[in-house]
A and B are shown apart, each in its own frame.
Chain A
């Protein structure tokens, strides 16, 4: 019996591979284990799985054809950009085709007068700014992974960057997408205009983690390059004081181009690695950037320095030229790899909190670090309250990973408890799926499932990611229970 079942599955796989190879370019279908290894995980390497096959289309028509074939055979499809995602969003599964968009990488058109670029999904984030540079323009969202991550992945995650406090997230900088549903039907959402009629489906698509449709083209907004940028690095004796300085700057009516914080552990890891010139005796440093036209920047930097001084900065350094500015930023940009040098492994969290709770939350994280016996460095987007605690662990030490995950889960619960969210920019993926049970009620999760079903009734796109089943939440015992009763008692706890 078992042998028969296997051979049926194998036969189905062969039929699928045959159909896919008909529509894909030579070398565009990988089915051998060795070929598929590079695709077994994304940036969250603690989770690894092999797919059934990897499809590497080169054109939009091939993407649509792959989707139609998989739909006809009811085979799940998982889209993948550059695989830098930190939540396991592009993690394969054994019965699914991994659809890589990496070979759709042409910049179709740049319109310098209208300040827009039309690009394929596999184009790297930084490549857009590089191509726009000759027109004095750039694409504003700048995740630290921008040399590698794809614009399609950015759309799927609604990615941010150090400049998103002033210039917005992916959502604020994308005008339109072309995308294909699981059935292979084209959706044109948004476009070259600033809005579109009816429901804002573009907003729904951005940040949907590949669950609703596969993006095959993105129209982005380009902004004029600022003439001048300067950064102030300020050191503080406590993280609370640094947090107060952040609030003071914003309350003074300043929206810095970047406003980042690092704690003592992160500072020392970074100094060892890139020698950015950060003070090793500080408990926390802030990097505060101003950009714009020179007159504006000079005035704004003065006001920023005043606020920092008033809030107790013990030392300050302001960049005098571009070399110095880049050096001050180099430390922040290298923070993750720097931490990677002082611990065998680290686990990057991504909660966001209302900023007024910064001091308290950092204190509680420090206490948890002692409790779990694992180090934790903090590097984060202080301006918008987006924390990145980096939990140290050793994957080779039995039990360490589980401890790190438990520590992380506690941090996320704390973020939700103070009115924040489990993920500010990295997405839910497989990693934070249980956290969704903490943040949303059963009714709200049921609504997400219904939205998903509206786009993908058969549930073939990136199944099991981003939105937990009610069953899973019920099992975890983390379902919100209001007034002692579940919402929608009529719904099955699937």
Chain B
């Protein structure tokens, strides 16, 4: 396996010397995401395998090229899971998931991918192997550089190993479904989230609010009795399809936007916009023909931001940054990758 590190280092140093960029690629499942794909591919999938896993520690350490599915299967065999429910969208590797930083329906209740990252080992743009964070749940030594890797789209370095906090799989899960409109759904999602209920998902689309409950059996049963509504016997499949963007809503060819906003923001639906509400109101998926500026302005006015997720202008995927934050991004990029080797233009066009 040291071969991989040596090869990767040679590629990184070579690209730095030549002034070219490398395109980091795990399973290719997120090839659609972010700015235009540029540079020669550096395959990361060869560096794989579970490095350490002891269920009673609630921590798993894996090489970044390991398929996410393999990690999930290993955890499931011990009754555990990665609670953030990162979407696979295909043959996802762990490193790619961390780089994309995406989390699924359980996110508001069990935390995001970034929340669960406890440490990383990575190679920077000088070919140095660096280790940040660790394999313990609490660690405040040094800046949280490891969490910075979540969502950085591989622009700061090659991820080599990642440690995650894991959680027990709930003993029981069930889904309640209600017919209502978006306004009622948002009201209910937010009100229920303020009550001591074992919520683990809340979504709305096509006139249906769904609430997922997870926990020990008495907790779930008590909540079911309290919440009313109907049982959704297809609930498990529904949440899976929501996570993987396999619902019919996601099939259209119109641009798909992801808005991250306060959970109480009113619906964005209008004559040009279809909306799917996830994360108890905090994440909105829009199919819309409005111009990008309109969507961004509305998200910003609501206190959030908008990502042109699929079928849009690739080089304008993410909401532009305020000048002070943009300057910090450039300096951080300079710190980790002074020659601009990694995934140039994938996050923002100018670095």
Contacts and interface: CB of A to CB of B under 8 A. Distances in A.
A204 B156 CA distance: 14
Interface in A153-174: 157-158, 160, 164-165, 168-169, 171-172
Interface stretch (A15-23, A91-99, A393-401, A442-450): A442-450
A224 B194 contact: yes
B138 A193 contact: no
B319 A197 contact: yes
A203 B114 contact: yes
Nearest to B307: A197
B140 A425 contact: yes
A111 B168 CA distance: 31
A248 B107 CA distance: 27
Given A203-B148, A254-B168, A354-B57, A428 B141 contact: yes
B161 to A, nearest CB: 13
Contacts of A436: 141-142
A295 B148 contact: no
B332 interface: yes
A198 B198 contact: no
Q: How large is the interface on B (under 10, 10 to 19, 20 to 34, 35 or more residues)?
A: 35 or more
Contacts of B223: 293
Given A112-B194, A385-B136, A194 B332 contact: no
A255 B167 contact: yes
Interface stretch (A182-190, A266-274, A321-329): A182-190
A487 interface: yes
A444 B335 CA distance: 11
A115 B196 contact: no
Given A114-B262, A199-B329, A203-B148, A420 B136 contact: yes
Nearest to B264: A114
A132 to B, nearest CB: 10
A412 B174 CA distance: 45
B1 interface: no
A194 B279 contact: yes
Nearest to A248: B56
A385 B260 CA distance: 34
Contacts of B152: 199-200
Given A198-B321, A444-B130, A424 B136 contact: yes
B101 to A, nearest CB: 8
B140 A292 contact: no
B52 to A, nearest CB: 9
B130 A447 contact: yes
B322 interface: yes
A15 to B, nearest CB: 28
A200 B150 contact: yes
B79 interface: yes
B217 to A, nearest CB: 7
Interface in B321-335: 321-322, 324-325, 328-329, 331-332, 334-335
B262 A444 contact: no
Interface stretch (A70-78, A296-304, A333-341, A363-371): A296-304
A88 to B, nearest CB: 14
A295 B136 contact: no
A200 B148 contact: yes
A253 interface: yes
A418 B33 CA distance: 39
B83 to A, nearest CB: 10
Given A113-B191, A197-B307, A439 B141 contact: yes
B174 to A, nearest CB: 14
B255 interface: no
Interface in B127-145: 128, 130-132, 134-145
B273 interface: no
Interface string B248-277: 000000000000111110000000000000
A264 interface: no
A181 B324 CA distance: 10
Given A114-B190, A199-B329, A424-B139, A299 B56 contact: no
B105 to A, nearest CB: 12
Interface in A196-222: 196-201, 203-204, 206-208, 212
A299 B218 contact: yes
B142 A467 contact: yes
Contact of A204 (B138, B145, B190, B215): B145
A112 B331 CA distance: 38
Nearest to A355: B57
A191 interface: yes
Nearest to B221: A295
Nearest to A164: B138
B136 A192 contact: no
A194 B112 contact: yes
Contact of A293 (B58, B114, B217, B219): B219
B3 interface: no
A426 interface: yes
B134 A419 contact: yes
B143 A454 contact: no
Contacts of A188: 322, 325
Given A135-B194, A168-B111, A199-B148, A356 B319 contact: no
Interface in A106-150: 111-116, 135-137
A448 B143 contact: yes
B81 to A, nearest CB: 11
Nearest to B134: A421
A424 to B, nearest CB: 4
Interface string B66-94: 00000000000001100000000000000
Pairs A-B, 10 closest by C-beta atoms: A296-B219, A454-B331, A253-B168, A295-B218, A203-B147, A424-B138, A193-B304, A247-B56, A384-B137, A450-B335
Given A135-B194, A300-B216, A354-B57, 5 more contacts: A113-B264, A195-B114, A197-B307, A204-B143, A448-B143
Interface of B: 54-59, 79-80, 101, 107-108, 111-112, 114-115, 124, 128, 130-132, 134-145, 147-148, 150-152, 156, 167-169, 171, 190-191, 193-198, 215-219, 221-223, 260-264, 279, 282-283, 303-305, 307, 318-319, 321-322, 324-325, 328-329, 331-332, 334-336, 347-348
5 contacts: A172-B115, A191-B304, A201-B148, A207-B140, A426-B140
